Amino acid sequence: MPRVVGIDIPNQKAMWIALTYVYGIGRHTSVEILKEAKVDINTKAGKLTEDELSRITQIIERSYVVGGQLRRQVSQNIARLRDIACYRGVRHRKGLPVHGQRTRTNARTRKGPRKTVAGKKGVKEIRG
């Protein structure tokens, strides 16, 4: 398995897909990187030469923030929003949707499983 910026990428995948295993690189970005490195996008990752791998790695390190550094940057951004207590920071703190989605229904991914709250039992009046 070839290593690109500290991540093992699968041998049997086409290179443009294999690069997406690196956090922060999507399909479009992987194609751009491979064009800049002059590597065929359909080449299997296991068939790459050391020279091609080093060119790809150099381009990624020079031009993109990926992996642990990107995760750290994202978490710092969220922490900053929480600290200044802006609307988005408060939503992050409460575990609610941040980008304006409705919460009356369809917010289960962010809110987690339903927590059933016992309702008030209706007291029937005794008529006499």
Specify the CATH number for the domain of residue 79: 4.10.910.10
Contact 82, 21 (CB under 8 A): no
| Cα distance between residue 14 and residue 50, in whole Å | 17
List all residues 6 or more positions away from 31 whose beta carbon is below 8 Å from its beta carbon: 16, 41
Based on the fold, state whether residues 35 and 47 are members of the same structural domain: yes
**pTM summary value:** 0.73
Domain count, the chain: 2
| Cα distance between residue 117 and residue 54, in whole Å | 58
Based on the fold, state whether residues 31 and 13 are members of the same structural domain: yes
Q: Give me the pLDDT at residue 128, please.
A: 60
Structural domain for 94, as ranges: 68-111
| Cα distance between residue 66 and residue 95, in whole Å | 26
Reading the chain (128 residues) residue by residue, the pLDDT tens digits are 778 888 888 888 899 999 999 999 999 999 999 999 998 989 898 888 889 899 999 999 999 998 889 999 999 999 999 999 999 999 999 999 999 999 988 889 998 998 888 877 766 666 76
Based on the fold, state whether residues 42 and 73 are members of the same structural domain: no
Question: What are the Cα distances from residue 25, in Å, to 22, 31, 65, 76, 109?
Answer: 6, 10, 9, 20, 24
The torsion angles phi and psi of 97, rounded to 5 degrees, stand at -60, 140
Instruction: Fill in the DSSP letter of residue 95.
Output: T
The torsion angles phi and psi of 83, rounded to 5 degrees, stand at -65, -40
Based on the fold, state whether residues 51 and 10 are members of the same structural domain: yes
> Which tokens is 61 given?
């390190």
Based on the fold, state whether residues 59 and 15 are members of the same structural domain: yes
> Which tokens is 62 given?
């020079």
Based on the fold, state whether residues 77 and 57 are members of the same structural domain: no
The torsion angles phi and psi of 7, rounded to 5 degrees, stand at -115, 130
